[in-house]
Structure 1
Amino acid sequence: MNPKQKAERVGIIFLILLIVGGAVLLYRGNDAVALGVEKKEGILTAEQVKMSFDSVSGRLLKQAVKEGDIVKKGDVVMELDPTDTDLAIAKTKAQIAQLDAQIAGKSGRQQGSSQKADNDETQSFRQIDQQRAAVSAAAATLRNSELDYNRKAALVEAGAMARSDLDDATMALEVAQANVEQQQQLLDKLLSGAQDTGTTDGLALPTIAQERADAANIGNDITALQEQRRQLLVTLEELKVKKERLVLRAPEDGKVLKVLAKEGEMVSPSTPVVLLESQRSYYDIYLSEQQAAGLAEGDTITGTTVAGKKQVTGTIRLLTQAPSFADLKQSREKGQADLSAFLVRIYIEPTNGVQPGMTIGVNEREFAKR
């Protein structure tokens, strides 16, 4: 056999093998699309947390971490300058102390005023009782003077007594009448306009009522001061919360990926200053309608890392229709129609040797067995 014939035979054999291999692949469905349907892979991604100061701003006083540091939940990450807040807290505490002193002083005054009103009432009742007795005594003297005058007037009329003796009786009567009026005026003054019932039980003296009203007004002033104190206490608590927020702490365990603010810089509220990589990791895979039909959120899926072949157990947290770019198009030789794809997001527990960036594959058997 000459070389030309030998080359033609080798070429024919190679062509036959190529045709047979393509036919086998086509029959078995081992083209790129079929392989993509059989095995799904996704990149393990860690959730990232953007840390920022909550509703506070200021100059960054301390940067306690750097890129690559591992932090635990509650660790101090950054601190803002607390000088202004400390001064505001001290000022508020001083105002509260001042109000406490005013409240104590007015409380003492109110207690003294109430006691004075009680004492004045007791003393006034005693004086009123004494004056009532004086009025009664003056009235009795007046009655005696009237009797003496009437008796002497009759004697003078009968000529049995001299007119000069009647003049003395007249003068004594007039003095007795004036004394009654004087004693009654003194009693009215002690009553200060109150109606005399003849007894001090239930007697309401206007002057005593005014003293008690003044004591009650002091109580109103105390209530107003106490309300101001409560408002300052709320302000003080707000300042304490603000001071706590000046210290930024790690919300969870993780790794510092990037520090976005440096010591001495001004930091605005809610502006990210640290990018934290959490320990919550997930990977996404895209499934066809048939593969996703038997799955539900909360199901457990076992995948395998491409590097190291480690099995990783995860939980489906999200199962939803994927964007149109993930749909399976009519690209196969068999003329397969377009198929809608579903996005499956699988969260895994922290596993030794498995870290973000690794590829995890899930075999079609995981979906077929459901």
Structure 2
Amino acid sequence: MKIKAGFYIGIAVVIIVGGLLLAMKGKDAVSQAESRKQGVLEAEQTTLFYEKSPGRIVKISVAAGDSVKQGDVLLKVKSADEGEMDVLAPDDGVINRMAVKVGEQLAQGMAVASLQKKTYYTDFYIQESEIDKLKVNQSVDVHFPYLAREVQIDGVVTSIAAAPQFANLRMSREKGQADLSMFLVRIAMESNADLLPGMTAEVRLDEFAD
């Protein structure tokens, strides 16, 4: 009888200890998930506007898909007032679209092209309890966990929302628990041969000191 009682006690101890270990592991997993924030990598886009004297396009030097450097000639415009003028690329990047064609008349303020810059960014939603870990102009490591080999890029915090963007409703509504206020944080980085817009980017808040 004593042996049977000891047997059942032993099983109970194993179950309790196993449950505690699973609970601890579960808490670790939740903590790890909460410290890792993911967003989608985006490329900065800009529309190029014609700002010079009205004139007629006499030459276009680039097409959609072409890479350009800052200062490259995109097109030439002949103006009655100023003669032949060059329209230059304001930044390094790739031409997404040309909105004009040779022979077209240009007026100030007309869109002539769209440019995908060589700068990427990603937006993260950071909860109120963690937002004090980040400051504008702070350097951060940005990870790309789903590539065949993990890539890490140096990023910079460019903006932090002045007010919460939304409240994330907790699943449990226990006394003392409040909804989580989430702040939008933008992190910029230079383009990299390993990266493409649409990839998953990740920051790990546990890498930052409190």
Per the normalisation by structure 2, the TM-score is: 0.76
Q: What SS does the aligned partner of 2:133 have?
A: coil
Q: Is the 8 A contact 2:68 2:95 kept in 1?
A: yes
Q: Return the offset for 1:310.
A: 0.2
Equivalent in the alignment of 1:42: 39
Equivalent in the alignment of 2:67: 70
Choose from 163, 168, 178 the match for 1:337: 178
Q: Deviations over 1:284-324 (max 9, x none)?
A: 11111121112211211112113241011111111224553
Letter in 1 for 2:43: A
Equivalent in the alignment of 2:4: none
Q: Return the offset for 1:354.
A: 2.0
Equivalent in the alignment of 2:155: 314
Q: What SS does the aligned partner of 1:248 have?
A: strand
Equivalent in the alignment of 1:294: 133
Identical aligned pairs, as a percentage?
Answer: 29
Q: What SS does the aligned partner of 1:337 have?
A: coil
Letter in 2 for 1:28: K
Q: Return the offset for 1:71.
A: 0.7
Q: Is the 8 A contact 1:37 1:287 kept in 2?
A: no
Q: Is the 8 A contact 2:133 2:205 kept in 1?
A: no
Q: What SS does the aligned partner of 2:130 have?
A: helix
Partners of 1:346 and 1:37 lie apart in 2 by: 18
Letter in 1 for 2:110: T
Partners of 2:160 and 2:135 lie apart in 1 by: 7
Q: Greater strand share, 1 or 2?
A: 2
Structure number with higher relative contact order (C-alpha < 8 Å, ≥ 6 residues apart): 1
Q: Say yes or no: does 1:328 pair with 2:168.
A: yes
Q: What SS does the aligned partner of 2:201 have?
A: strand
Bigger radius of gyration? 1
> CA 1:316–1:324 in 2, change beyond 3 Å: closer, same or farther?
closer
Gaps of 5+ in 1: 1-19, 86-238
Structure 1 vs Structure 2 CA RMSD: 2.7
Letter in 2 for 1:352: A
Q: Return the offset for 1:44.
A: 1.7
Equivalent in the alignment of 1:168: none
Equivalent in the alignment of 2:90: 251
Equivalent in the alignment of 2:13: none
Partners of 2:112 and 2:134 lie apart in 1 by: 40
Partners of 1:346 and 1:46 lie apart in 2 by: 12
Q: Is the 8 A contact 2:165 2:184 kept in 1?
A: no
Q: Return the offset for 1:358.
A: 1.9
Q: Return the offset for 1:351.
A: 2.7
Q: Say yes or no: does 1:270 pair with 2:136.
A: no
Q: Return the offset for 1:353.
A: 1.1
Letter in 2 for 1:339: L
Q: What SS does the aligned partner of 1:340 have?
A: strand
Equivalent in the alignment of 1:28: 27
Q: Is the 8 A contact 1:67 1:258 kept in 2?
A: yes
Q: What SS does the aligned partner of 1:298 have?
A: coil
What is the count of residue pairs matched by the alignment? 187
Q: Deviations over 1:9-60 (max 9, x none)?
A: xxxxxxxxxxx8xx959963857xx776232111222222211211422222
Equivalent in the alignment of 1:364: 205
Letter in 2 for 1:315: V
Q: Is the 8 A contact 1:286 1:322 kept in 2?
A: no
> CA 1:26–1:337 in 2, change beyond 3 Å: closer, same or farther?
farther
Pairing 1:199-278 to 2, within 5 Å after superposition = 239=82, 243=83, 246-278=85-117
Select between 246-255 and 52-61 the one with higher mean Cα deviation.
52-61
Pairing 1:132-151 to 2, within 5 Å after superposition = none
Letter in 2 for 1:304: H
Partners of 1:26 and 1:330 lie apart in 2 by: 21
Equivalent in the alignment of 1:3: none
Q: Greater helix share, 1 or 2?
A: 1
Gaps of 5+ in 2: 1-18
